[in-house]
């Protein structure tokens, strides 16, 4: 065996087993979510004390479990997954009961409530299911949970089946699936005279699913109990600047209290990450710092403004002042510093703000030194 053969063998081992690990984690995640959805529906339909919970069931369940990643919104997703894909029952139970890497297989009591397919408007008749949907084995084994969650939100059974098939055929990443849904691929296909040509063109342009796409998602990392920091991959330059910027602002004094780095923000179904979040004890407001490693673009300001609006609506307390945004952009040694001050009192607060925060010259000097 020569050196190139050694490299090829090790690369093949890495890629193969990484893919297997991602696949196994995804099957476990899909199984967990489907089973939780099943239990919730079963309780809502047949639970002895269900009347005592009523519409507040999912909120009370979230509060009682107090487990990261298991909240009212997720429980609604799980319930919908179960209602839309009841045919996954045999696949899920087969996976769970086989052990599949689990040290202890569940007891019969664990799956006792899973007795029947619930009746619901989202359900299809047996004939419709046979005509439209893919075999449950393919759905379970070929589509990650993120894909099933997204597709299950589509009410039209034919449209769901279309995206199931195309996602499997093209090995689409989650982002690619979302992009195709948003671009009305299904509707365009219906209007196209040459559907095969359109499908071929779409498949040529797609971003394909990789093992890292399955593992490196907020839902998966919550499921595995991993640190949120693993959610973010950064350029080395940006990482270095952020590391030093955090210390720079803390050492500046002036009331900076560090709160979070890569603060995860969930808006609708999307995750966003604010680079650094501070609370300023003198200004009595949050300060959100966003750093970019290229020249200023209008979408950067829009993103920071979205974070500020989120903090105003969701985080700000009654005695807090409106949050402040600091956007740092750099290219070829030039640094553009933009302070977002919308909503601040121009007569009182801005004056204090200008005095207490680092000056533009200080931050420019810092960026120039850090880049060397």
- Residue 111's pLDDT band, with cuts at 50, 70 and 90, is low
Q: Find the range with the poorest average confidence among 34-48, 126-140, 264-278.
A: 126-140
134 compared with 81, residue with greater pLDDT = 81
Tell me: the pLDDT tens digits for 308-325?
999 999 899 999 988 888
37-53 exposure pattern, b = at least 16 Cβ within 10 A, e = fewer = bbbbbbbeeeeeeeeee
Q: Please report the pLDDT score of residue 30 as a whole number.
A: 94
pLDDT tens for residues 183-215?
Answer: 887 877 765 556 566 666 666 655 565 666 655
Res. 21: pLDDT tops 90: no
Mean pLDDT across the stretch 301-306?
84
Average pLDDT, the chain: 75
Residue 23 near residue 215, CB atoms below 8 Å: no
Task: Say what the pLDDT of residue 23 is.
Answer: 84
| pLDDT top residue among 243 and 181 | 181
Q: Quick one: pLDDT at residue 263?
A: 86
Q: What are phi and psi of 52, to 5 degrees?
A: -75, -20
When pLDDT is cut at 50, 70 and 90, the band that residue 101 belongs to is very low
CATH of span 232-371: 3.40.1350
Task: Please tell me the predicted confidence (pLDDT) of residue 340.
Answer: 43
Least trusted range by pLDDT, from 135-149, 154-168, 229-243: 229-243
The domain segmentation of the chain, as residue ranges, is: 3-224, 232-371
């Amino acid at each position: 065996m020569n050196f190139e053969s050694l490299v090829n063998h090790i690369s093949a081992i890495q890629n193969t087993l990484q893919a297997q690990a991602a696949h196994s984690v995804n099957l476990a995640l899909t199984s967990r979510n489907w089973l939780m959805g099943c239990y919730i529906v079963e309780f809502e339909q047949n639970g002895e004390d269900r009347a005592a919970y009523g519409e507040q069931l999912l909120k009370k369940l979230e509060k009682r479990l107090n487990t990261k990643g298991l909240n009212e919104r997720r429980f609604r997703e799980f319930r919908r997954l179960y209602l839309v894909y009841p045919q996954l029952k045999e696949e899920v139970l087969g996976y769970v009961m086989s052990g599949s890497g689990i040290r202890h297989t569940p007891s019969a009591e664990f799956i006792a409530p899973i007795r029947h397919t619930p009746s619901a408007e989202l359900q299809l008749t047996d004939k419709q299911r046979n005509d439209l949907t893919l075999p449950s084995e393919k759905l379970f084994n070929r589509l990650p949970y993120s894909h099933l969650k997204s597709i299950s939100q589509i009410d039209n059974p034919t449209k769901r089946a279309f995206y199931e098939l195309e996602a499997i055929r093209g090995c689409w990443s989650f982002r690619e699936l979302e992009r195709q849904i948003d671009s009305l691929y299904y509707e365009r296909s219906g209007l196209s005279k040459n559907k095969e040509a359109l499908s071929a063109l779409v498949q040529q342009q797609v971003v394909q699913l990789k093992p890292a796409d399955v593992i490196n998602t907020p839902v998966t990392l919550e499921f595995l109990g991993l640190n949120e920091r693993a959610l973010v991959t950064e350029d080395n330059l940006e990482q270095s600047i952020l590391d030093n910027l955090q210390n720079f602002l803390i050492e500046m004094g002036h009331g900076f209290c560090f709160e979070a780095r890569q603060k995860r923000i969930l808006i609708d179904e999307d995750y966003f990450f604010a680079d650094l979040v501070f609370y300023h004890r003198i200004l009595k407001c949050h300060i959100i710092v966003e750093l970019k490693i290229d020249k200023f673009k209008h979408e950067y300001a829009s993103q920071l403004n979205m974070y500020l609006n989120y903090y105003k609506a969701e985080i700000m307390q009654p005695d807090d002042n409106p949050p402040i945004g600091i956007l740092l952009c750099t290219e070829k040694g030039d640094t553009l510093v933009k302070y977002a001050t919308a909503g601040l009192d121009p007569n009182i607060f801005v004056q204090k703000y200008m005095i207490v925060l680092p000056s533009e010259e200080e931050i420019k000097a810092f960026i120039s030194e850090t880049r060397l």
